[in-house]
A and B are shown apart, each in its own frame.
Chain A
Amino acid sequence: MAYPHEHPRETRVLSKYFGDKDAIGIDGWIERGGYKALDKAFGMSRDEIIEVVKDSGLRGRGGAGFPAGLKWSFMPKNGDRPNYLACNADESEPGTFKDREIMRWTPHQLIEGIIICSYAINAEHAYIYIRGEFVDVVRVLNGAVVEAYERGYLGKNIRGSGYDLDLTVHLGAGAYIAGEETGLLNSLEGRRAEPRVKPPFPAQRGAFGMPTTVNNVETLAAVPGIVENGADWYRQWGTEKSPGTKLFSCCGHLRRPGNYEVPLDFNLKELVFEICGGPPEGREMLAVIPGGSSVPIMTVDELDCDVSYEGIEAAGSLLGSGGLIAMDDSTCMVHAVRKMVDFYAHESCGQCTNCREGSSWLAKILRRIERGQGREEDIPLLLDISANMAGKTICPLSDSAAVPVVSSIEKFMDEYMAHIRDGSCTAVR
């Protein structure tokens, strides 16, 4: 059996070589068809590459789902300042671990995507900002970068194209907020990872004040396939608005947790119950968070939808990063939400008042309710604090901290009231 679990209903495009140790090195990668897309890309003009990516409908896989080709087209074409690419590998959204596996098993898939993107946006230097905790992945990635330099895929005059590119792997120091694109740029520059006010957007003033594109690992890893096979090839999967395949990091109370790749028109319920095998023996599924802890919690009844961006949104949540967290009936929802809010309170960079003070205030109230010392007026208070946090800050972390609170109160009010009224918990132990 390959890397932890695979399932016949998966469509393995990005994850085709997960578990294949021979695909990690550059020779193995070339044997498997690697770097062919790059040669094709060098035969195309920059605008042609951007057009293909635009046509493919590839959307940013970091969480926001912004169309990748459109983002690239914002970069100045003939500026007198250098352009940069920053690959966001600071994967820290709770419940998300897809980028880690892409980099662990197929580092050259990412590097090839980075080179193509850098060429398309005329970047002279690319950075992989990687989460510092990914120690073993960093080792793999560094090895791959060295190999790519040795084989002439990085450095001066790549493959005789006349195009030069340097790639630097930069380690983060352990801040969730460094995964926010402008926080990432500040951290890359050696400052505190505090998100910047937008505008100016990174394509105008990014890393070191220069035009910069910031893309997620999974987005860039999808690029070589699109360039090699064309936009229509990519559009064979998914929906009109959400083409292609996507990795889902499935964790929590599941029989077969792991990374699964499915087309974006796949049914969420089938992903949870068929591919992941549903809850453990003798348990009932209670709730699912489909896209990392910043997206609204879904009840089991809401799961019958596409996993597309628009499908999950219509069902009341968001695709986000694809970090699927399953919770069965042994879960105390108040406890689970408190843990999530604790996380955001801990990770708030602290520059905006509403987020810094609001997140820790929410956490304290939730802790009190969890201990059985809640008051009924705490519920409207929690909702009002959440409303005062959402949409009032520079970056969306404040919104993220409020989301689990609001969605859990909407959908699991009984659990809160059990704690508040009886000091008890509805979780089935």
Chain B
Amino acid sequence: MDSESTPQINITIDGVELSVPKGTTILDAAERIGVVIPRYCYHPGLSRPAVCRMCLVEVEGAPKPQPSCVQEVQDGMVVRTGNPEARKARRAAIEFLLVNHPLDCPICDAAGQCELQDYAFETGQLSTRNVEPKVVLGRDHVTPDIVYFADRCVLCTRCVRFMDEIAEDPVLQVINRGYKSFIDTMTDEVFEHPFSMNIVDVCPVGALVNENFLFKPRSWDLDQTASVCPGCSQGCNVTLGAKEDKILRAKPRFNPHVNSYWMCDHGRSAVVNWGAGERIEVPMVRDGDRLAPVDWSRALQALTDAMRGKPGTARAIVSAGASNESLFAVRQLMNAAGFEGGEFRVSTGPESVLKGFPKLRLRADRVPNVRGAELLGFQRADDPIANASGHTGTLFILEDELDDAPEGFGGNAALFVYIGSKMNAAARNAAHVILPSPTFAEAEGTFTNYEGRVQRFGQALRAPGLTRPIWMSGSAVLAQLEAGEQLRTAGVAFAALAAESNEYAGMSYENLGQHGAMVASSAAAVP
């Protein structure tokens, strides 16, 4: 919209003069100067029906208040968003919405993240003029996991429009009319769609709720962290909601290049279940037949000593769910021992496209960092366990659970290092050193998505026990071997990667920004 060929329009909003491209709406123009006009039916990713009548503003010379979400700016327009007339219009819309609203905030999932609640407080309506009985419509499932509370619904139709315009599967409709209206499928049966949970995200109130999340936390108890979904190689930007060291939900975070405002249902459950199960929380070193829990300095010393003893060239089985920083650290350790080759396997599933934003797919590769692993010289393989089973030199395992490894796997290796978050039979029987590592939610890092976009994710949870990311522990070993420097933060680890790799040249945590950046080979391919 900001292209130079678009003529600029001069307007005044709340006394501030500004210039915006022709075709901009009042609502969008106001946001440029930090004036957020309240809205329900408006959603930046959807069409604009102008039905909630919340965003009415006074336009000088217009006979009545104008809906700012659809009214385009005109030269010389003078807009007031906070004068008595606009405020009265807004108060009126809120009062009308509350006439039949149950006001059950104390038991409502949306309390604390509810736009109706926010604006009702903002307009200061603490008592009601309504003494009439309310319309009661009840509740129903619209998908097996989503419950619709009709009484709370403000009929903004964002969910209807999402299914129609973005999912392009118009299963939801407004049923009945007037004060009896509610949202449902035409057949009164539940529907299923791989992107259905987005209707919960777009709901401005507590009408559509995710049953898997219902009644678990209050929204204000959640710690919010910007992250990247690990559910597939798409790399959707998400906000993780965590409470008491548990991820309770992922909501999509806007990135126009990757996922717009949306994400799939698979990703949401993948996030919540990621790394579930019992964890290894302390480093371990082999002592005869058993693995002895030790502190980090002993574990790292043991690994340093073992590598000084020249155990032979290194092979690895890594996970494409590990961050670039962790993969790079393993690669550096392997280089120190002599790199022979590393492989990873990828679990796959059927693809689903979001038709209204076709760039967003639930990708077949159900791990986040296939491209990142490949760029660091690791190869995708169907059976890396078989390929590595007879290896006699150094063997690194990074975050692969080795669930299906045969008995005696890794027994021939001169040095077997297991870096992971879960104990398993193969590691217990054969590993010489075990370094406990955090999951993606417990550390900072980057993933490189299917098209080569490098994106940062933040740490949402405290890393349990003594777990430490391998870029931190591995670099300590390399420092002792005088083969590298100790890396103390993820940002420094990424900078080390960027310094070594042409693909990541020039990148840093600071300049990746909110939308990520393309690796060199992809940036060249995409004009």
Contact = CB atoms under 8 A, between A and B. Distances in A.
A357 interface: yes
A351 B132 contact: no
Given A197-B49, A357-B100, A394-B51, A350 B132 contact: no
Interface stretch (A113-121, A140-148, A331-339, A359-367): A359-367
A359 B53 contact: no
Contact of B179 (A348, A354, A388): A348
A392 interface: yes
Looking at chain B's contact residues, the main secondary structure is: loop
Given A197-B67, A360-B179, A392-B92, A353 B174 contact: no
Given A347-B178, A359-B178, A359-B179, A353 B100 contact: no
- The contact size tier of chain B is 35 or more
B129 interface: yes
A392 B65 contact: yes
B177 A357 contact: no
Contacts of B49: 197, 351
A353 B53 contact: yes
* Residue of B49, B88, B96 most packed against chain A (CB within 10 A): B96
A345 interface: yes
A46 interface: no
A368 B93 CA distance: 23
B509 to A, nearest CB: 45
Given A348-B179, A351-B157, A357-B99, A392 B50 contact: no
A175 interface: yes
A393 B100 CA distance: 19
A358 interface: yes
B92 A356 contact: no
B167 interface: no
For A175, A192, A392, the residue with the greatest tally of chain B CB atoms inside 10 Å of its CB is A392
A87 to B, nearest CB: 24
Nearest to A364: B132
Contacts of A359: 178-179
Contacts of A357: 96-97, 99-100, 179
Nearest to B89: A392
A349 interface: yes
Contacts of A315: none
- Interface residues of chain A: helix, strand, loop or mixed (majority): helix
B53 A350 contact: no
Interface in B144-173: 154-155, 157, 173
Nearest to A196: B49
A356 B135 contact: no
A360 B92 contact: no
A253 B433 CA distance: 99
Given A197-B70, A353-B53, A388 B177 contact: no
A345 B51 contact: no
A388 B92 contact: yes
B26 to A, nearest CB: 14
A427 interface: no
Given A353-B93, A353-B96, A357-B99, A348 B178 contact: yes
B9 interface: no
Contacts of B100: 357, 360
Contacts of B89: 388, 392
Contacts of B129: 381
A345 B100 CA distance: 14
B132 A365 contact: yes
Contacts of A169: none
B318 interface: no
B211 interface: no
Most buried by B among A175, A357, A359, A391: A357
Contacts of A350: 155, 174, 176-181
B518 interface: no
A394 B70 CA distance: 11
A354 B54 CA distance: 10
A158 interface: no
B52 interface: yes
Contacts of B92: 354, 388, 392
B57 to A, nearest CB: 12
A351 B155 contact: yes
Contacts of A394: 50-51
A388 B49 CA distance: 20
B52 A356 contact: no
Interface string B30-58: 00000000000000000011111110100
B310 interface: no
A175 B93 contact: no
A359 B135 CA distance: 13
Contacts of A345: 178-179
B67 A360 contact: no
B359 interface: no
A356 B67 contact: no
Contact of A353 (B54, B65, B130, B180): B54
A78 B359 CA distance: 39
Contacts of A393: 53
Interface in A388-412: 388, 391-394
Contacts of A70: none
B97 to A, nearest CB: 6
B211 to A, nearest CB: 27
A368 B130 CA distance: 12
Contacts of A255: none
Contacts of B67: 197
B462 interface: no
A347 B180 CA distance: 11
B64 interface: yes
Given A350-B179, A354-B92, A357-B100, A392 B174 contact: no
Contacts of A356: 96, 155, 178-179, 181
B178 A361 contact: no
A361 B154 CA distance: 15
Contacts of B50: 197, 394
B442 interface: no
Nearest to B97: A353
B95 interface: yes
B498 to A, nearest CB: 50
Contacts of A388: 88-89, 92, 95-96
Interface string B173-207: 11011111100000000000000000000000000
A354 B96 contact: yes
A349 B178 contact: yes
Nearest to A377: B129
A29 to B, nearest CB: 39
A352 B53 contact: yes
A4 to B, nearest CB: 34
A197 to B, nearest CB: 5
Interface string B99-132: 1100000000000000000000000000001101
Given A356-B178, A388-B96, A351 B65 contact: no
A356 B93 CA distance: 11
A346 interface: yes
Contacts of B135: 360
A360 B181 CA distance: 12
9 contacts: A197-B70, A347-B177, A349-B177, A351-B174, A353-B54, A356-B155, A360-B178, A365-B132, A392-B93
Given A351-B51, A353-B154, A354-B96, 18 more contacts: A197-B70, A345-B178, A347-B178, A348-B178, A349-B178, A352-B52, A353-B93, A356-B179, A360-B99, A361-B99, A381-B129, A388-B95, A391-B63, A392-B53, A392-B56, A392-B89, A394-B50, A394-B51
4 tightest A-B CB contacts, nearest first: A388-B92, A357-B96, A360-B179, A364-B132
